[in-house]
Amino acid sequence: MSVRSGLLALLAEGEKYGAQLRTEFEARTGGTWPLNVGQVYTTLDRLARDGLVETAGAPDAEGRIAYRLTPAGHTELGTWWSTPVDRSSTPRDELAIKLALAVTAPDVDVQRVVQTQRTATLRHLHDLTRLKREALPPPPGAAQARAAVDAVTRLGALAEPRGAGDNGLAWLLVLENLIFATEAEARWLDHVETMLARRTATPASGPTASTTTHATEPSTTANRTESRHEPAVVSTNPGGEHS
């Protein structure tokens, strides 16, 4: 999410100062993309330079300066809401880069790299799905409490409980986005493992491979003929349930 556009969206609700913008931004996104106050004020300075925000009077008793949207800022925000997110510029993906380099580098056990990453990805997915199940958790037992502490250790602010209401819904949307992305990564890693296995099993091309193929053709044909006379096995239990 663009920090610039996110701050415009928050300021559309009313005047706010920098620390307040930071707190609300993190509350609504579940702490997934934490901001520091310096980043917020740097962005506000740029928005003011571009005529999209302005200060709302003098500093308060604590020296805090509130900001508000200008008419141009409202127009800019309306354009952001109505314009789809641009996906034409692909962001760098460290995992994709890592594996792309691993398959071309000598002395790298690519299978091990993939399996290690897959284990970490599935662990992360488990933590995320547990957080979703416990969005409105019952009083936890000892085992649940230990699992919650472990998840907070691994996921940080994302694992902190959220309140009900619109902020709770916003956090759930962010959480489900992370779940879908992690599931997709796990499926992609499965696909990578399959591709690597096929590459390893692919026979070398040449006269020897051709001769071997011709030598085994009669046996393969006989097997196909026999298979035509075997009755087809049809599952009557597609759900996989056992009686």
pLDDT for 240: 46
CB atoms under 10 Å from CB of 216, counted, come to 10
Share of residues in the chain with pLDDT > 70 (%) = 69
| Per-position DSSP letters for the chain, written without gaps between them | --HHHHHHHHHTTS-EEHHHHHHHHHHHTTTSS---HHHHHHHHHHHHHTTSEEE-SS--TTS--EEEE-HHHHHHHHHHHHSPPP-SSPPP-HHHHHHHHHTTSTT--HHHHHHHHHHHHHHHHHHHHHHHHTSSPPPP-HHHHHHHHHHHHHHGGGGS---SSHHHHHHHHHHHHHHHHHHHHHHHHHHHHHHHHHHHHPPPPSHHHHHHHHHHHHHHHHHHHHHHTSPPP--S-TT----
pLDDT for 185: 96
Question: Which among 79, 8, 70, 72 is positioned nearest to 40, based on CA atoms?
Answer: 8
Which whole number is the average pLDDT over 85-95?
85
Measure the CA–CA gap between 51 and 71, rounded to whole angstroms. Answer: 9
Q: Which residue has the higher pLDDT, 231 or 168?
A: 168
Measure the CA–CA gap between 168 and 186, rounded to whole angstroms. Answer: 27
pLDDT for 17: 93
Residue 89 has pLDDT above 90, yes or no: no
Q: Per-residue confidence at 189, pLDDT binned at 50, 70, 90?
A: very high
Q: Which residue has the higher pLDDT, 105 or 88?
A: 105
Which whole number is the average pLDDT over 116-128?
95
pLDDT per position as a tens digit, 36-67: 899 999 999 999 999 999 999 888 888 889 99
Q: Is 206 left (phi over 0), alpha (psi -120 to 50) or beta?
A: left
The mean pLDDT value of the chain amounts to 79
Delineate the domains of the chain, giving CATH numbers in brackets: 3-82 (1.10.10.10), 94-201 (no CATH)
Model pTM greater than 0.75?
A: no
Residue listed under structure tokens 């380099």: 101
pLDDT per position as a tens digit, 198-231: 988 765 554 444 444 444 444 444 444 444 444 4
Which whole number is the average pLDDT over 88-99?
88
pLDDT for 90: 77
Measure the CA–CA gap between 37 and 42, rounded to whole angstroms. Answer: 9
Q: Per-residue confidence at 140, pLDDT binned at 50, 70, 90?
A: low
Residue 243 has pLDDT above 70, yes or no: no
Which whole number is the average pLDDT over 138-146?
56
